[in-house]
Structures are given as C-alpha cells and as structure tokens.
Amino acid sequence: MSGPVRLLVVGSLNMDLTVTVPRLPECGETVLGGDAARTPGGKGANQAVAARRLGAEVRMVGLVGDDVFGDQLREAIAAEGVDVAGVETAADAATGLAMIMVRSDGENAIAVAPGANAALGPDTARDAAGGGAEKALLLQLEIPVDACEAAAAEARRRGMLVVLNAAPSPRAVDARMARLLRLVDLLIVNEGEAAALYQALRRSPGSGAPGHDGVHDGLHDGVHAGVQDGVQAPGRDGAAVAEALRSLGPDRVVVTLGADGAAGAGPDGTFRVAAFPVTAVDAVGAGDAFCAALAIAVADGTSLPAAARRACAAGALAVTRRGAQGSLPRAADVDALLAGEPAGRR
Ligand SMILES: Nc1ncnc2c1ncn2[C@@H]1O[C@H](COP(=O)(O)OP(=O)(O)OP(=O)(O)O)[C@@H](O)[C@H]1O
C-alpha cells in the first residue's frame, strides 16, 4: 500500500436517539423499552468514522444545524481524526435526528428527520469534490440526490472512484436518481434497497433485467423475503440481482445480505461471500462499516470479491457491539478476524 487511502465523504450527520425494545412496536402501539442513548450518527458521518478507523485519511463535507447537537457531532468525528473543515452550520435548520429502536436480537427500525442535511446544495457538493486530492468519493442518500449528483459528476471528472451506498432505500428511480446511478462506479445496497432498485429496473422498458419466474424468492435462496415498503425482491440470488443492477450504470455492484454475508457483480463476473460467524448484539453500524471497508479496499486496488470479504469482516465486527459510531471496528480488528482470530478477542 502506498500510504493511507484518501477518501471524501459527502453526506449526512445525525444525532441518534436509541431505545432498546423487547420487540418493535406495531402501528399505533407503544412498547416499553429499556436503556436510551444519545450518540453521534448519520450514514455520512458513520462511514467517515468507519473509514478513518480502518486507516483511511478522511475528509467529511456536510451540514449540521445551529444547535448543541451540531457542535457535538462535529466534535465527535473530529475526535476520531476526520477532517471536519467542510462540515458547516446551516442557519435556521436543526441538526438531523434519527430515532432508532433496537430489538434484543439486534434488529432495528429507524426514522430520520433530515434537518440540516436536506439543505446541502449541489454547489457545496461540487466544490467539495473539486477541492481535494482524494482517491475516492463515498456517498449515501441522506442528503439531496442533486447534491450527490453534483459531487459524483465532479469526482468522476477528476478521475476519482465514485461509491454510492443507496441507503436509505430510494423510493423511486426518477430521472435524477437514474443520472446519479450512471455516475457511480461502485454501488452498495442491502436487500431492501436492492429489491427497490431491481423493481424500478424491471419497470423500465428495455431494461434487460431478468424476468420473474413467479416464485417469491428472496435475494438469497429464499432465506429472507427481501421486502421493503411492500416491494418483493424478485431475484433468485443476490449475485444475479447485483449483476442485473449493473445495467443501471455502476460497473460494480455489491448487495449486503445481513447474517448471510454479501454478493456482488463486476466486470470479472459474480460472486458470493459468506458472513463471519459472530454473536449479533446490534445491527446498527454494520452497513456503514461494510461500505467504508469496501470503498477503501477497492480504491486501494483490491479485487471486488476480496474487498467484499474484508467488508464482511468489518460488518460482522460492527454487529458484535452496540451503537453506530461506537461499534465501528479498527483495521487491526478486521485483520485479526480475516486471519482467523474469533471476533470479540479484542
Ligand atoms: N448477524 C451478522 N453476522 C455476521 N455478519 C453480519 C451480520 N449482520 C450483518 N453482517 C455483515 O454486515 C454487512 C452489512 O449488514 P446488512 O446487510 O445488515 O446491512 P444494512 O442493512 O445496511 O445494515 P444496517 O442495519 O447497519 O443499516 C453484511 O453484508 C455482513 O457482512
């Protein structure tokens, strides 16, 4: 490796308010929970911290509100060593807020109030991508799509690797989302996000997406239904779905499959990566650790399957600990798990 990978994250910062619950409430129901916690989060900030802990040099660009949460978020990621010069304060906006419920088996449900994140404009995003010497740009969908598009276009013009974690799930692939996807080199989605994009792909005429055989398959051998907002995942397996999603633009696509690992597709074909067996405590942060690890490894020239294996190790370690940023593993932890040391020894 020729020094640390330099990564730019243009994305969200949220304060996470987390309550542990014995089960996730039904509509109209109140469930009495246990401990509550207030911790720094937001997919952008989480992935920035994850990448930093995994050894990258990271610059974050985003917006917080003019309030105490905003100051706390900026301080939290600065304390991790992330460059926060591009994290600005939006006047007249509250800091983004995420309400998280975590079930005892680690599964979660989340509602986000975007606040200042929604005010991040395309000019700021474009300037961010044009103003550094990073090798890769890492984006998520907790900021406006036109900001992502502006950053991605500029990053691509500069020859950077453009990575998009299409989370939270896009509700529709409208013209702007379609344009963004065509600017992306590496797309990372979980099962629900993959299902939503796949459905959109199949609805578009002449998409070339494989047909549905009438069986309500999950993304991976029928283990999970892959349902998000009523959308049924139609593919037979994650690798086939990843391959189909390449027709949206990204050359490389990786689908995360929770406790079943990940699947992907690239110019060299499709692959599956098994999950590392761990005791799940809290799934929050797994996706963020995975995305950061994958982006760094691919930016560093690692093959996609090997990068996905490393990312699975990072994701597995994140589920063994509570919280979002607090649960993110360090490079040495990932190296140890890849070398066969059981998770939790560190
Ligand atoms: N229970 C688990 N055991 C082992 N590895 C896991 C487990 N859950 C997640 N992972 C790892 O983390 C990766 C990301 O997890 P997942 O597919 O749940 O993403 P996500 O839905 O984006 O997560 P998040 O809940 O953080 O938003 C998986 O591909 C897998 O490698």
- Centroid of ligand 1 to alpha carbon of 278 (angstroms): 11
- Centroid of ligand 1 to alpha carbon of 67 (angstroms): 32
Task: Show pLDDT as tens, one digit a residue, over the chain (346 residues).
Answer: 478 999 999 999 999 998 999 999 999 999 999 989 899 999 999 999 999 999 999 999 999 999 999 999 999 999 999 999 999 999 999 999 999 998 887 788 989 899 999 999 999 999 999 988 999 999 999 999 999 999 999 999 999 999 999 999 987 888 999 999 999 999 999 999 999 998 888 776 555 455 443 222 334 333 233 333 333 344 458 999 999 999 999 999 999 999 999 999 999 999 999 999 999 887 778 999 999 999 999 999 999 999 999 999 999 999 998 777 878 999 999 999 999 987 765 5
Q: How far apart are CA 293 and CA 334, in angstroms?
A: 9
The ipTM is 0.98
Q: How far apart are CA 296 and CA 84, in angstroms?
A: 19
**Hey, what amino acid is at 293?**
A
The domain containing residue 83 runs over which residues? 6-23+33-331
Q: Whose CA is nearest to atom 2 of ligand 1?
A: 259
- Determine the pLDDT at residue 117: 98
Our mutation pick for probing the ligand 1 site, out of 108, 312, 325, counting the most ligand atoms within 8 A of Cβ, is: 312
State pLDDT tens for residues 302-341.
Answer: 999 999 999 999 999 999 987 778 789 999 999 999 999 8
Q: What are phi and psi of 217, to 5 degrees?
A: -70, 150
Q: How many residues does the chain have?
A: 346
> β-strands 108-113, 96-103: how paired?
antiparallel
Closest by alpha carbon to 224, among 276, 170, 185, 263?
263
Q: Whose CA is nearest to atom 15 of ligand 1?
A: 258
- Centroid of ligand 1 to alpha carbon of 111 (angstroms): 19
Q: How far apart are CA 5 and CA 170, in angstroms?
A: 29
- Determine the pLDDT at residue 94: 97
For residue 53, being part of any structural domain is answered with yes
For residue 337, being part of any structural domain is answered with no
Q: Which atom of ligand 1 is nearest to the CA of 192?
A: 21
Paired tokens of 3: 């020094």
> β-strands 186-190, 161-165: how paired?
parallel
- Tracing tokens 């999603």 back to the chain, one arrives at 245
- Centroid of ligand 1 to alpha carbon of 69 (angstroms): 27
Q: How far apart are CA 116 and CA 113, in angstroms?
A: 9
- Determine the pLDDT at residue 206: 54
Q: Is the CB of 110 under 6 A from ligand 1?
A: no
- Determine the pLDDT at residue 335: 97
Name the burial class of residue 67, with classes exposed (0-12), middle (13-18) and buried (19+) by CB atoms within 10 angstroms of its CB.
middle
For residue 150, being part of any structural domain is answered with yes
For residue 190, being part of any structural domain is answered with yes
Q: Whose CA is nearest to atom 9 of ligand 1?
A: 258
Q: How many domains would you assign to the chain?
A: 1
Q: Is 203 helix (H, G, I), strand (E, B) or coil?
A: helix
State pLDDT tens for residues 91-135.
Answer: 999 999 999 998 887 788 989 899 999 999 999 999 999 988 999
- Centroid of ligand 1 to alpha carbon of 123 (angstroms): 33
For residue 342, being part of any structural domain is answered with no
Q: Is the CB of 147 under 6 A from ligand 1?
A: no
> What does the DSSP assignment read for 7-67?
EEEE---EEEEEEEESSPPPTT-------EEEEEE-HHHHHHHHHHHTT-EEEEEEEEESS
For residue 1, being part of any structural domain is answered with no
Domain at 283, CATH number: 3.40.1190.20
CB count in 10 Å sphere of residue 274: 11
Q: Which atom of ligand 1 is nearest to the CA of 167?
A: 22
Our mutation pick for probing the ligand 1 site, out of 105, 140, 220, 319, counting the most ligand atoms within 8 A of Cβ, is: 319
Our mutation pick for probing the ligand 1 site, out of 18, 138, 190, counting the most ligand atoms within 8 A of Cβ, is: 190
- Centroid of ligand 1 to alpha carbon of 250 (angstroms): 22
Q: Is 117 helix (H, G, I), strand (E, B) or coil?
A: helix
Closest by alpha carbon to 230, among 201, 195, 255, 202?
195
For residue 122, being part of any structural domain is answered with yes
Q: How far apart are CA 233 and CA 223, in angstroms?
A: 12
Q: How far apart are CA 107 and CA 109, in angstroms?
A: 7
Closest by alpha carbon to 252, among 162, 156, 142, 134?
162
Closest by alpha carbon to 235, among 260, 257, 210?
210
For residue 307, being part of any structural domain is answered with yes
Per DSSP, 275 falls in state: P
Closest by alpha carbon to 188, among 64, 98, 297?
297
- Determine the pLDDT at residue 120: 98
- Determine the pLDDT at residue 200: 82
Q: Is the CB of 312 under 6 A from ligand 1?
A: yes
- Determine the pLDDT at residue 215: 25
Q: How far apart are CA 129 and CA 344, in angstroms?
A: 37
- Determine the pLDDT at residue 224: 37
Paired tokens of 36: 């509550």
- Tracing tokens 């490393």 back to the chain, one arrives at 310
- Determine the pLDDT at residue 229: 37
Q: Is 174 helix (H, G, I), strand (E, B) or coil?
A: coil
- Tracing tokens 């990271």 back to the chain, one arrives at 58
- Determine the pLDDT at residue 337: 96
Query: Which positions are annotated as active-site residues?
Result: 288
Write out the binding residues for ATP.
190, 256-261, 287-288
